[in-house]
């Protein structure tokens, strides 16, 4: 009888540990930003792409009328490359490298003159 109780307790603890580990990997982060001209005006309809460099999975967003973009529900495990493109503007610094040290990263892409 004691052995059966011990086995049940061991199984329960194993399942609890597995759920805890799974929960750690379900935590996600977000990358937010804005794309602006050299004078600070919003650049709408710029294409922003984020690529997980570990898995090579990519997502693309188009900035809204105020130049904002958002990538949500990104797995925290990974290094991400964020790039911007625009038909009308050029960017000397068109990429950002993101490694999650917090749940949310915010930055601005600024176009050249």
pLDDT of residue 17: 47
pLDDT of residue 21: 45
- Judge contact between 49 and 82, C-beta under 8 A: yes
pLDDT of residue 83: 98
CATH code, domain with 86: 2.60.40.10
Calpha distance 13→6 (Å, rounded):
11
The closest of 85, 86, 92 to 113, measured between CA atoms, is 92
Tell me whether residue 71 is in a domain: yes
Tell me whether residue 7 is in a domain: no
The closest of 36, 51, 41 to 83, measured between CA atoms, is 51
The predicted-structure confidence for 2-28, as pLDDT tens digits, reads as follows: 555 555 555 455 544 444 444 555 789
Is the Cα torsion angle 34, 40, 44, 50 positive or negative in sign?
negative
The predicted-structure confidence for 41-67, as pLDDT tens digits, reads as follows: 999 999 999 999 999 999 999 999 999
Domain count, the chain: 1
Tell me whether residue 3 is in a domain: no
Tell me whether residue 9 is in a domain: no
pLDDT of residue 18: 45
């Amino acid at each position: 009888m004691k052995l059966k109780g011990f086995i049940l307790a061991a199984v329960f603890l194993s399942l609890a540990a597995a759920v805890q580990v799974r929960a750690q990997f379900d935590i996600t982060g977000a990358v937010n930003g804005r794309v602006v001209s050299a004078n600070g005006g919003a650049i709408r309809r710029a294409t922003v792409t984020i690529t997980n460099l570990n898995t090579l999975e990519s997502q693309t967003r188009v900035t809204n009328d105020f130049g904002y973009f958002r990538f949500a529900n990104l797995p925290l495990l990974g290094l991400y490359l964020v790039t911007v493109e625009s038909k009308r503007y050029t960017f000397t610094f068109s990429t950002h490298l993101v490694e999650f040290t917090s749940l949310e990263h915010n930055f601005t892409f600024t176009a050249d003159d």
